[in-house]
Amino acid sequence: MTSTDSKTKAVISSATKKEHPPRYKVILHNDDYTTMEFVVEILVHVFGKSLEKATQIMLNIHNKGKAVCGIYPREIAETKVETVHHLSSSRGFPLKSTMEKE
């Protein structure tokens, strides 16, 4: 291999390594009012979890105080947080959802 080939490979290699946008963890927090059934419903419909996985995450939220429900690019994470707040307030629950950088 010539030095030109190695220079070309280096340029191609660095050009194909795109920086991924930062990702954010979406977290649901436990409270004393939101029902376990509603949390499972949110996990299934908003986060696309299976019933089994949603139940497992809900129990983690209940027992540990909070749990990560998914990791997404910023705009998607913001939308998930807003959706959780909208759905929970429309049903009269104070379910809290936050996001933090991974």
CA–CA distance, 49 with 99 (Å, rounded to integer): 18
Does domain 21-101 fall into CATH 3.40.1800.10? no
Is the pTM of the predicted complex or chain greater than 0.95? no
With tokens 């649901």, the residue in question is: 28
Domain residue ranges of the chain, discontinuous segments joined by +: 21-101
pLDDT by residue (tens digit) across 51-102? 999 999 999 999 999 999 999 999 999 999 999 999 999 999 999 999 999 9
Q: Which helix (H) or strand (E) holds 72?
A: strand 66-73
